[in-house]
Amino acid sequence: MKFENVTPTKAKQWLENGEAILIDVREPAEFATKHIQGATLLPLGKITSEDLPETNKKIVIYCQKGSRGNSACVKITDQNSSVVIYNLVGGIEAWQEAGNAVKEGKSKVLPLDRQVQITIGSLALASSLTGYFHDPAFMLLPAFLGAGLLFAGLSGTCGLAILMAKMPWNQKV
């Protein structure tokens, strides 16, 4: 069976009725910054279908905005087609926008997608300026970054995000 999407309203209803559990697939530092109360952390890079708890409850997967949650659901159902799981549409951001509470931590790490955007933007800007003012060979870096973004968009896999997730500041809980 493939996974299904679930809205924050429906997921909250399931939680209030004791019908569901939550799995957060973000990185440890993102989880420490804020998460939905009662969620279990299983980062996307490490999660397998065998990591899911044995339960008769619905398993709702979530991330920051829904994309990593979707990737986790695809990964899990590809490994075990009999698993029934749900992706929280819009992730924790949609959960909060719907007026639902989150548990705030003391850690203040930027979400992984923003870390990737800042890194790519900084590299593209710096290399473009260097290419314009110093050596045109530096223009190859923005082309490489563009190719990486194209690949990430088409495949759903971002190499830079995988690398950033392994950085020490994203491992702190």
pLDDT tens digit sequence for 24-35 = 999 888 898 899
From the candidates 15, 29, 63, 165, which is the catalytic residue? Answer: 63
Higher pLDDT, 15 or 173: 15
* Residue spans of beta strands (DSSP E) within 18-122: 20-24, 34-35, 40-41, 58-62, 85-88, 103-104
pLDDT in tens, 63-122: 999 889 999 999 999 999 888 899 999 999 999 999 999 998 876 777 778 888 999 999
What local confidence, expressed as pLDDT, does residue 23 receive?
A: 97
CATH code, 4-104: 3.40.250.10
Tell me the three state secondary structure of residue 71: helix
Asked about 63 being catalytic, the answer comes back as yes
Stated length of the chain:
173
What local confidence, expressed as pLDDT, does residue 63 receive?
A: 94
pLDDT higher than threshold 60 for residue 173: no
